[in-house]
Every structure is written in structure tokens, then in C-alpha cells.
Amino acid sequence: MGSLWITGIGPGGPAYMTPQAVEAITRADTLCGYTVYIELVRKALGDRLRKNLTILTTPMRQELERCRLAMEAAAAGSDVAMVCGGDAGIYGMAGPLLAMADDYPDVQIEIIPGLTAAVAGAAVLGAPLMNDFCVISLSDLMTPWQVIEKRLRAAAAGDFCICIYNPMSSRRREHLAKACRILMEEQSPDTPCGWVRNIGRPGQESRLLTLGMLAMEEVDMFTTVFIGNSRTRFRGPYMVTGRGYEDKAQD
């Protein structure tokens, strides 16, 4: 029986990959994952990868087949690294893989954490997630839109900072604007916000803007969006959420 290393590779280049992830990927004799991530790993680790490496990949949207392929290979004796962007347990493959793990009791599974887009993107914009925050995906492929709306309203009511994944795609151009309008029922249109595109990859770009402006912004699926709370301020080139030190200083 082989091993299955469910590996988060971080948002982009090798600098964002943990040594633990690099070790799993360079020890594996089989790499499995979405083509884009396999290419990222190939570029990042090149000749450190095994020479006779087997690559198992399926097109986007065929995630379950990809998981099954990885499990079958490990059950047949291979050491498999399933690579996921960011962290594998955050909108990644760790969930579906573990859900089928009962069918493969002899496969040794290890989950290797990765730097998720929320953390890497926040560092580009300043310190937007200094206090309580939540992460909400605007993709309604697997979560009904009504549930997403409910979560947005709850986050606004709780004055959470919000990090938005999957903000928009060509099929769902309206989602970010709709989300902003819901948040503005509770929050000021002047609330500091920002987005980061292609975090840690060539062509990384970012912008700070208000919630009112964000409602009219065009972003894409390679972007992570940050929405401040009532304590978030623009400070020079950064957005910073107050944590309470400021009030203490005034005591």
C-alpha cells in the first residue's frame, strides 16, 4: 500500500510552498491535480521531481474522478501527492478525498497544510484580517445563492471582516455586485476594501477601494477580495483593521 499526501502548495511560486509540501512532492512517484497546479509545481521544483514521475490529471470540474484516480494509485502501491492551490482543506480536495477514504482503509493519508489565498492576499494589502473575520465563497456551483446571501448578511450583522473567494466568473458576473449591495444594507459604502489578483504569481496586482466602488468593480476568478469592518481604515498604501490597541492607547 502506498501513501497519499494531500498537499496545499500555496497561492503561487516556490517561495510560498512550505518545506513540508516540497518534501511530499519531491518524494512522490505520482503527482495528481488540476493541470494548472501540476504546471506550477513543475516550474517551481523542476529537476527536484522524481525522474520517472507519473502525472494523473483530469480537466477542471472533474474533481471526484481526480480524487478516485489518486486513491486507486495509492491503493496499488504508489506514493501519491495530490496537489491543491492554497490549502487543500479550504475549497480544495481534502474533503472529498477523506470522504472516500473508508473505501481504501490501507492507504496512509497525510494532509499537508498550505498558505491559503486569504492569508497571502491580506499580507499584500496590509492587515485587513487583524480581528475576527470570515471567508465566504460566492460560487453557487455547490452552495445555493440563498445560503450565500444568508451568510453575507450574518457576517455584516456580526461586523466581521470578510474575505471573498470565487468573487466572479464569466458565468457569474453579477455576484460581487450583489454581495456588495447586501453588505451595504448594514455597512457604510465608505468601508475600506481591497482585492488582490494572481497572488504570488507573475502579474500580481492589487487595488484598495471603498465598498461602494467595489460594487462596480470587474474582477475575475483569480482574485481574492477583502471587505473591511467598521474598524478598518486606509493607512497610506495599506488597509488596516483596528484590533483595540488604539482604544487602549487612549485610556
| Chain residues in the site for ligand SAH (CB under 6 A) | 11-12, 84-87, 90-92, 116-117, 165-167, 196-201, 221-224
Closest CA to 57 of 82, 78, 26, 74: 82
CB of 2 or CB of 86, closer to ligand SAH: 86
CB of 78 or CB of 179, closer to ligand SAH: 179
CB of 74 or CB of 135, closer to ligand SAH: 135
CB of 2 or CB of 200, closer to ligand SAH: 200
CA distance 243 to 197: 26
Q: Minimum Å distance from CB 84 to ligand SAH?
A: 5
Q: Which residues contact 251 (CB under 8 A, 6 or more apart)?
A: none
Q: Minimum Å distance from CB 244 to ligand SAH?
A: 28
3-state DSSP assignment of residue 132: coil
The residue at minimum Cβ distance from ligand SAH is 86
Q: Minimum Å distance from CB 206 to ligand SAH?
A: 10
Q: Which residues contact 29 (CB under 8 A, 6 or more apart)?
A: 50, 52, 53, 54, 78, 79, 80
Q: Which residues contact 171 (CB under 8 A, 6 or more apart)?
A: none
CB of 127 or CB of 221, closer to ligand SAH: 221
Any idea what the Cα angle at residue 21 is, between residues 15 and 23, rounded to 5°? Answer: 105
In this structure, is the dihedral angle defined by the CA atoms of residues 213, 216, 221 and 222, taken in order, positive or negative? negative
CB of 116 or CB of 241, closer to ligand SAH: 116
Q: Which residues contact 202 (CB under 8 A, 6 or more apart)?
A: none
Q: Minimum Å distance from CB 119 to ligand SAH?
A: 9
Q: Minimum Å distance from CB 85 to ligand SAH?
A: 5
Q: Minimum Å distance from CB 38 to ligand SAH?
A: 15
CA distance 125 to 25: 30
Classify residue 86 by its DSSP letter: B
